[in-house]
């Protein structure tokens, strides 16, 4: 399997090179030259396969010969060694809970898969790899946990000061060792822009071996397909589901669409956005126009210039009509998100966090117009990660999982920097 840059000005590379470099030299994102289609026999036996088998068979074509199969199976096993339950909320809507991993967020899968791939690629090398991560919360905590103590890898996390939840901040600032947190006095888009600039800076790349753990990295992005196969493995209805995905940087929904292109049967996708909704503008006007991000209570989706949008365009060969046919758009404001959390809690005794609530509202509105359909929302984080918002809405304490209690006894350690690339560059070069 070879990968090309979405900007079409860089040479083809294999999975190893794409993972290590993160961003292509021409500032494009790597994309598979061909999309593998899984054989009918795979889907015939989907319900009886283990999670490890599913992950291995899904990802194997993308890896090529860069990782031996036995090693790859071990990586897959360690990546998905927790539950991904599909819970019924009501007769028409189900929740795929992606928060049963070590940091209580869906990004655990991508971070664990990438960290283990990078750890394998780093064996025998004298030069350390520096992983740069821009985060609006969960990417940073998942990366910190996934890469902790991985030999030959240092992780530098950039997060927007005051714009992540308390538990998210503790998860990414208290580990120490090979994990460093930079608290940026700006937005997530500032963090993401600084990381992208770092990959293009000649001096930095001459002195450091840089890569990214954001979903711009193929290892992070491709492994997110696993959720969708786990969802369909548990789906008990004859008609395929509509899947509503909380969408910020668009890596998650692009992974679901990739699984769909590989043969996984999904009736329709919903890109559920908060007020940062450049996708709706694209659907309505056929023009992609980045915006300055607006802060919301579903903060992981506060993205005004989603990096993975170029991958979505690549999947559909830039065909606007096909995109509009396969993906619905919705924009959910904070007051509606809060009302949805309260409504679902009152009627179904299910606690949604803000991102899942955005997905729920998008799916609910879609099902009003398509009454014979049923669907799945992706519940991407545990409600406790947004405890202040949820408690205010439902007037009920969200119970902290026992596994997270230790965090509140640890000391936060972060370095505050301005949202300026030269500050990041100076920090990295000082080492």
Task: Give mean pLDDT, residues 132-146.
Answer: 86
Place of tokens 């103590």: 149
Output the average pLDDT for the chain.
94
Burial class (CB in 10 A: 0-12, 13-18, 19+), 430: exposed
Listed residue (173, 109, 107, 178) closest to 148, CA to CA: 178
Q: What pLDDT does 406 receive?
A: 87
Q: At what angle do helices 138-147 and 166-173 cross, to 10 degrees?
A: 30
Residue 214 predicted with pLDDT over 80: no
Q: What pLDDT does 78 receive?
A: 96
Q: What pLDDT does 189 receive?
A: 85
Listed residue (176, 168, 109, 170) closest to 135, CA to CA: 168
Residue 58 predicted with pLDDT over 90: yes
- Percent of the chain at pLDDT exceeding 70: 100
Q: What pLDDT does 67 receive?
A: 98
306-to-215, 217, 345, 346 alpha-carbon distances in Å = 10, 14, 31, 34
373-395 confidence digits (pLDDT tens)? 999 999 999 999 899 999 999 99
- Percent of the chain at pLDDT exceeding 90: 79
Q: What CATH architecture is 107-216+400-431?
A: 3-Layer(aba) Sandwich (3.40)
Listed residue (308, 307, 301, 364) closest to 137, CA to CA: 301
Beta-sheet strand order (sheet of 268-273): 86-88, 93-97, 375-379, 242-246, 268-273, 327-331
Q: What pLDDT does 137 receive?
A: 75
Q: What pLDDT does 48 receive?
A: 97
Task: Give mean pLDDT, residues 234-259.
Answer: 96
Lowest mean pLDDT among 140-154, 254-268, 385-399: 140-154
Question: What pTM was estimated for this model as a whole?
Answer: 0.90
Instruction: Find the largest Cα–Cα distance for the chain.
Output: 60
pLDDT confidence tier of residue 150, bands split at 50, 70 and 90: confident
Task: Give mean pLDDT, residues 199-219.
Answer: 88
DSSP helix/strand/coil, 182: strand
pLDDT confidence tier of residue 320, bands split at 50, 70 and 90: very high
396-to-307, 342, 351 alpha-carbon distances in Å = 36, 11, 10
41 is written with which tokens?
A: 């026999």
Q: What CATH architecture is 83-105+224-399?
A: 3-Layer(aba) Sandwich (3.40)
Q: Which residues of 177-203 are buried (b: 16+ CB within 10 A; e: fewer)?
A: ebbbbbbbebbbbbbbbbbbbbbebee
Residue 91 predicted with pLDDT over 80: yes
341-to-74, 95, 317, 348, 357 alpha-carbon distances in Å = 38, 13, 37, 11, 6
Residue 21 predicted with pLDDT over 80: yes
Task: Give mean pLDDT, residues 275-294.
Answer: 92
Q: What pLDDT does 156 receive?
A: 96
pLDDT confidence tier of residue 407, bands split at 50, 70 and 90: confident
Residue extent(s) of CATH 3.40.50.1100 domains in the chain: 83-105+224-399, 107-216+400-431
Q: How far apart are CA 194 and CA 163, in angstroms?
A: 17
Higher-confidence position of 415 and 211: 415
Listed residue (232, 238, 259, 264) closest to 47, CA to CA: 232
Q: Are 118 and 150 in contact (CB under 8 A)?
A: yes
Residue 68 predicted with pLDDT over 80: yes
Residue 259 predicted with pLDDT over 80: yes
Residue 124 predicted with pLDDT over 80: no
Task: Give mean pLDDT, residues 347-376.
Answer: 97
pLDDT confidence tier of residue 401, bands split at 50, 70 and 90: confident
Place of tokens 């910190």: 144
Higher-confidence position of 275 and 151: 275
Q: How far apart are CA 225 and CA 98, in angstroms?
A: 12
Q: What pLDDT does 130 receive?
A: 92
Q: What pLDDT does 69 receive?
A: 98
Catalytic residues: 107
Task: Give mean pLDDT, residues 111-117.
Answer: 93
């Amino acid at each position: 399997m070879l990968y090309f840059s979405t900007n079409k000005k860089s040479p083809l590379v294999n999975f190893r090179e794409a993972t290590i470099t993160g961003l292509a030299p021409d500032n494009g994102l790597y994309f598979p030259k061909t999309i593998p289609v899984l054989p009918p026999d795979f889907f015939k036996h989907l319900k009886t396969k283990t999670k490890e088998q599913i992950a291995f068979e899904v990802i194997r074509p993308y890896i090529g010969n860069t990782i031996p199969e036995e090693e790859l199976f071990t990586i897959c096993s360690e990546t998905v060694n927790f539950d991904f339950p599909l819970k019924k909320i009501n007769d028409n809507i189900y929740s795929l809970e992606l928060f049963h991993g070590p940091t209580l967020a869906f990004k655990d899968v991508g971070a664990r898969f990438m960290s283990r791939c990078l750890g394998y690629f780093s064996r025998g090398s004298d030069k350390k790899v520096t992983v740069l991560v821009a985060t609006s919360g969960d990417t940073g905590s998942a990366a910190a946990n996934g890469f902790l103590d991985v030999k030959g890898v240092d992780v530098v996390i950039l997060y927007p000061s005051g714009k992540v939840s308390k538990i998210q901040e503790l998860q990414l600032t208290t580990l120490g060792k090979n994990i460093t947190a930079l608290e940026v006095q700006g937005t997530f888009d500032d963090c993401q822009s600084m990381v992208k600039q770092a990959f293009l800076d000649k001096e930095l790349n001459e002195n450091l071996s840089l890569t990214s753990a954001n979903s711009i990295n193929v290892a992070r992005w491709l492994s997110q397909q696993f959720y969708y196969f786990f969802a369909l493995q548990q789906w008990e209805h004859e008609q395929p589901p509509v899947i509503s995905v909380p969408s910020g940087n668009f890596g998650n929904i692009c992974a679901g669409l990739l699984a769909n292109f590989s043969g996984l049967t999904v009736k329709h996708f919903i890109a559920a956005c908060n007020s940062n909704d450049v996708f709706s503008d694209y659907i309505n006007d056929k023009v992609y126009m980045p915006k300055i991000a607006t802060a919301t209570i579903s903060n992981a989706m506060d993205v005004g210039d989603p990096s993975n949008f170029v991958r979505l365009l690549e999947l559909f060969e830039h065909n606007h009509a096909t995109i509009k046919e396969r993906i619905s758009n919705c924009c959910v404001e904070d007051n509606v998100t809060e009302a949805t959390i309260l409504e679902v809690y009152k009627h179904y005794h299910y606690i949604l966090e803000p991102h899942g609530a955005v997905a729920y509202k998008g799916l609910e509105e879609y099902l009003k117009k398509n009454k014979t359909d049923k669907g799945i929302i992706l519940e991407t984080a545990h409600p406790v990660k947004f405890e202040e918002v949820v408690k205010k809405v439902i007037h009920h304490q969200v119970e902290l999982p026992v596994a997270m209690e230790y965090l509140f006894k640890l000391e936060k350690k972060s370095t505050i920097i301005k949202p300026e690339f030269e500050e990041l560059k100076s920090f990295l070069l000082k080492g």
